[in-house]
Structure 1
Amino acid sequence: MANTENERTPLLTGDNNSSTLLPPPYSTTGTNGSSSGDVATLPIGTDELPPPYTPTAQGGIPMINCKVCQAIISLEGKQHLFVVKCSVCGEATPIRAAPPGKKYIRCPCNLLLVCRSGATKILCPKETCKRVITLPGPTDNVASLTRYKCGYCTQIFVIHSVVKFARCPHCRKWSCVGQNYARTRGHIYLIVGLLILAAAVGITIGTIEAASTTGGIYVAWTGGFVIGVCFIIRAIILYCIKVSYPFQASLNA
């Protein structure tokens, strides 16, 4: 079919850059010929996007940097193309967004590929590579969001559901989200602070006679009491943090 033939046309054919450039061949599933190749898993956010144009004086020639070697590429007479070829490394760099329903992916071998937006596996057509590239599914890029009611100003705000503390954009105050994590952390600070104070008291009692001849002992006393008090103050602050509870069921952004 016509669409299949277009998808199997390379992005760059020879040195002719003046014609419209189409995507290279790709496969949405592994093939028998690719079983011996490497498997590359690309992290979320690996879509190859066109780089920004380099600012030039009025009437100047627009230029961009190659996404592989960072060499300067002139766009004179090429702005109607989807990609341009770097004269230094020979790799393609996109200058326009991918066609509707497609996205750019750059193989670890630096070859620029075009595949369907929903593709999860593509095969690099380069003879020396033949990697099977595994892409994250569309749901992997969707962040789970939850609406919370601020424990201070009662306003509604939206945050990622995986965080434990969040700042309300309305009152700018920090609060726990969902559960009182601050109270648990406050218990830890309080226990540690009391242990440090107890140790400081024990050291003070045990060295009170030696302190008259060794002035450095007073520094140890002071340091122990100051650290213990700081931990207790931190525990009190954590105890005062309010909780923001979910306002309704989790939403997908």
Structure 2
Amino acid sequence: MAEETTPLVRSSQNADNSDSYGGRSVTDYFGDGTVLGADEVPPPYDHSTTGRPMVTCRVCQTMIDISGKMEQHVVKCAKCSEATPIKNAPAGKKYVRCPCNCLLICKSRSQRVACPRSSCKRIVNLSPPPVNPNTPTAPGMCRVTCAHCSMIFLFNTLTNALARCPNCRKVSSVGREYARCKTLIFLTLSVLMLIICAVVVFTTMSYTNAGHPAVYLIYIVLFLVLAFLLYRTIYYCSMKVSLIDGPL
């Protein structure tokens, strides 16, 4: 595994297929005044020239053949030896290209990043994502940090529902109150259903001795409902909680 202090593509003396990725996330340094722009995203594939999947190098604009490299995250340009991403960054990460053209990967919430390239060692600030003033807002809309992948997404806290992260597609509770409330509701229902099951079993015990099959069917239905309620109780009790980052 590549160290976090190495660039996404190593120096030119390494083999051309050593397209490992790393990078360095820095949040406790002071920048040198340089501000990086938008995060780098993979370029679109081009099949029109040779019939094989190709991408354009982000540094020298040379076409790179990525046949047989579709499982990699980045590829190395044979002309300039710099890296170009061909897949989105892993969950909770983002690509950033240093002014020296070194492609780095860092946490999606990082505000500063240090270039590990020995000839650069630049520490630069990352510009925040632009805010579109024309974006319509709704009451209760706020930014939420996903408990699974740490990505920020928008969620309306007035909707009494779970939040599904658009990045990792996993579900979480926005704030602890919703999960706690649901846990108490299903726990109460579970206790009530357990009492009902005990009462039914106790009052129909004589029918089981007589061999009535309908009694066993009632038992099965009641215990299935009890198992479902207990499952939902454990589900909400163990659910991860996404924190509100701030209003929109």
Query: TM-score, normalised on structure 2?
Result: 0.48
The structure with the larger Rg is: 1
